[in-house]
Amino acid sequence: MSSLHILPVAVPESPLTFVKRSATFSYYGKLCKSLAHHAAKFVTENTDGVENELITTLQAFLEASHSDCMGDPSEKSCCWFTIRITKPNNAFDIPRWHQDGRMFQYDEGREAVARSKYALTILGPPTLLLPADSAVFETITNGEEKFLWWRGNEGKKSTEKDRDEAYDAMREWLSDEFRETDRVAVTKGDIVRFSWGRNDSPVHSEPQMLMDRVFMTVLHGSEAELRSMCEFRAVEFGKIYNE
Ligand SMILES: [Fe+2]
């Protein structure tokens, strides 16, 4: 399975034009039919979207990602689904190039299976993605060696402030390093699959937030895996968070 892929499916569009207010929807639990309904209601409350159209879009996204995801039904009965609705802001004027780390405790015997997150942007700019090639990974490794001095250095303790400063410095450095690097072309309506928790997981960043944006991601896993994620994140399994 390639670490980065655009699914060959067209998701029906919901013609959104603006965001009323920034808000985040997040759910960890069983993948059930009502999820797209709850999520569509949330998007409708915070944008000019039409609920019925959004149900179709969100359902198509959840279904396409679920059927693409490897595993038998019990190995992907649950999901983490999040929607980020944002007004323009400066938070990503400097890109935050990174790879996603491990999200949950893998089920025994499934450690080697590549796990992915699926992303879809229905309003505004898509996620920035760099090609999954060795030059990109080498730059990330160099950045980590240069700035994250406490790694592999048992004798030296870092404070939270040290780490924040180091990550900020590395972020600026990577922004310069990748300034001329070609990005993977993602067009509106594309569902992007990218792996996490692996050395070759794609390097990506939030885009510059110059416009209203509605962006969503989902990952699928077993109930035990999603419950372990809830533990890591101190959230409740089966509950919708709407902030
Ligand atoms: Fe990420």
Question: How close is the Cα of 82 to the center of ligand 1, in Å?
Answer: 12
* Per-residue confidence (pLDDT) for residue 3, from 0 to 100: 75
DSSP H helix total and E strand total for the chain: 5, 9
Residue 157 alpha carbon to ligand 1 centre in Å = 26
How many angstroms does the Cα of residue 203 sit away from the middle of ligand 1?
A: 8
Residue 103: its pLDDT value, please?
Answer: 84
Considering just the CA atoms, what is the radius of gyration of the chain in Å? 18
Spatial distance between the Cα atoms of 208 and 89, rounded to a whole number of angstroms? 8
pLDDT of residue 112: 82
Residue pair 119/217 in contact (Cβ under 8 Å)? The answer is yes
Contact of 100 with 229, CB cutoff 8 Å: no
CA of 103 to the centre of ligand 1 (A): 11
Ligand 1 mean position, distance from CA 222 (Å): 21
Residue closest to 123 by CA, chosen among 23, 215, 216: 215
- Helix ranges restricted to H, 47-199: 51-68, 134-147, 160-177
**CA neighbor of 29 nearest in space, from 173, 238, 200:** 238
Instruction: Tell me the CA–centroid distance for residue 124 and ligand 1, in Å.
Output: 18
- 31 alpha carbon – ligand 1 mean position (Å): 22
- Tell me how far the alpha carbon of residue 81 lies from the centroid of ligand 1, in angstroms: 14
Q: What is the pLDDT of residue 13?
A: 85
3-state class of 182 per DSSP?
coil
CA of 97 to the centre of ligand 1 (A): 8
Q: Measuring CA to CA, how many Å separate 128 from each of 19, 34, 134, 194, 218?
A: 21, 31, 18, 12, 17
Nearest to 221 by CA among 101, 113, 120: 113
Q: How far is the CA of 3 from the centre of ligand 1 (A)?
A: 14
Ligand 1 centroid to Cα of residue 4, in Å, is 13
204 CA from centroid of ligand 1 (Å): 6
CA of 107 to the centre of ligand 1 (A): 22
Confidence (pLDDT) at 104: 84
pLDDT tens per residue across all 243 residues of the chain: 677 889 988 888 888 999 999 999 999 999 999 999 999 999 999 999 999 999 999 999 999 999 999 999 999 999 999 999 999 999 999 999 999 988 888 888 888 888 899 999 999 999 999 999 999 999 999 999 999 998 877 777 889 999 999 999 999 999 999 999 999 999 888 999 998 888 889 999 999 999 999 999 999 999 999 999 999 999 999 999 998
Residue 150 CA to ligand 1 centre (angstroms): 22
Comparing C-alpha atoms, which of 17, 108, 81 is closest to residue 218?
Answer: 81
